[in-house]
Amino acid sequence: MSFIAVLALTVCVGVIAVMQLGKVHDMSTEMSTTWMPATRSLLEMKNLVSRYRTQEMQHILSGSYDEMAAYEKAMDETWANLQKNRTTYESLITEPEEREIYPELQKLLNQYAVEHNKIVAISHTQENEQANALIRGKSLQLTREINTMLDKLTEINVAGATRAGQTADGVYSQARLWVLGLLLGSVALGLVLALWIARIVSRPLSEAVKVAQSVAAGDLTSRIEARTTDETGQLLEALKGMNDSLSKIVGEVRMGTDTIATASSQIASGNQDLSSRTEEQASSLEQTAASMEELTSTVKQNADNARQANQLAVSASEVAVKGGSVVSQVV
């Protein structure tokens, strides 16, 4: 969302800059394609009118028909250029005031053309005084009115060009303010969002580091709370699951250890009981061994007594035999 906001402001800066540049381009295009060409055409028309009138005077003052013919050719070219510029200017008319003045200018040019034909015709008769009277009469008045019309039209176009330039300057100043304002706003917003994002990321990471250090130190009693659902929140949630799993495993190990300790105690008790019984059996075995020794001694004595009795029996048998012999003898 932060990057989208910054990008949106950047897009706004670009759109406003492009729009304002488009307006400046329109103004410059209007100046280069309308006002300046129109002004140039009007000034050229004024110059051609002055040249045309000068050529008329030179035609009157010509000393030969050849010279008159040369000036007539030059006047035809000048008039053709005048009409060409007039046609060009017609396509560039944009202001209502121009549309009002231009028909009057066209009418004056037509009247001037009529007077010109009169002047040329009289000039061919070499009646210079009458020709001079014509050229200083209505022809001069028409020339002044034409120049006045051309000056008015020129002023209108110069004013239009000035307005276009002022509008372009205003658009430029406004666009510069907008662009600078949006750029400063984008930078400020970017810094605020950067600090906010850094804080959002660093705080859970600091908590995660503390939890990891506590787990590494063997403390599984840390309380972990994931307040967000982003990547750092998922990290804290994973650490919480790890901590809970380790606590569960340690509890199970502790229970197993207690069971082992109980079994060890029972085994130790059994071993003590077995040891006491073993000692009792050893004592019994010692007594048995002593009895066996006494029995062995008694058996030995009985064996000796048996041998003695056997010897006595043998002696008695011998005596009995002898006695039998004696008895036999006695018999």
Chain segment 170-212, per-residue pLDDT in tens: 877 887 788 788 788 878 888 888 888 888 777 777 777 777 7
Q: Look at residues 176, 168, 77, 68 and name the one whose alpha carbon lies nearest to residue 119.
A: 68
Q: How many domains does the chain have?
A: 1
Q: Is the pLDDT of residue 96 over 80?
A: yes
- DSSP per position, 296-325: HHHHHHHHHHHHHHHHHHHHHHHHHHHHHH
Looking at the domain assignment, is residue 42 inside a domain? yes
218: left (phi over 0), alpha (psi -120 to 50) or beta: left
Q: Is the pLDDT of residue 40 over 70?
A: yes
Chain segment 139-161, per-residue pLDDT in tens: 889 889 989 998 998 898 888 88
- Asked whether the beta carbons of 109 and 86 are under 8 A apart, the reply is yes
Looking at the domain assignment, is residue 255 inside a domain? no
Q: What is the average per-residue pLDDT within 116-120?
A: 86
How far apart CA 144 and CA 149 sit, in angstroms, is 9
Q: How far is CA 126 from CA 55, 114, 132, 174, in A?
A: 16, 19, 11, 67
Looking at the domain assignment, is residue 188 inside a domain? yes
Q: Look at residues 268, 203, 267, 215 and name the one whose alpha carbon lies nearest to residue 245.
A: 215
Q: Is the pLDDT of residue 32 over 80?
A: no
Range of the domain at 37: 2-195
Looking at the domain assignment, is residue 61 inside a domain? yes
**In angstroms, how far is CA 259 from the centroid of its own chain?**
59
Q: Is the pLDDT of residue 331 over 90?
A: no
Looking at the domain assignment, is residue 312 inside a domain? no
Q: What is the average per-residue pLDDT within 42-66?
A: 87
Q: What is the average per-residue pLDDT within 60-81?
A: 88
- Asked whether the beta carbons of 117 and 139 are under 8 A apart, the reply is no
Q: Please enumerate in sequence order all residues whose Cβ is within 8 A of that of 247, keeping only pairs 6 or more positions apart, or say none.
A: 220
User: If pLDDT is split at 50, 70 and 90, which confidence band does 224 have?
Assistant: low
Looking at the domain assignment, is residue 322 inside a domain? no
Looking at the domain assignment, is residue 142 inside a domain? yes
Tokens of 60: 């009157």
Give SS3 for 277: helix
**Which domain CATH number covers 141?**
1.20.120.1730
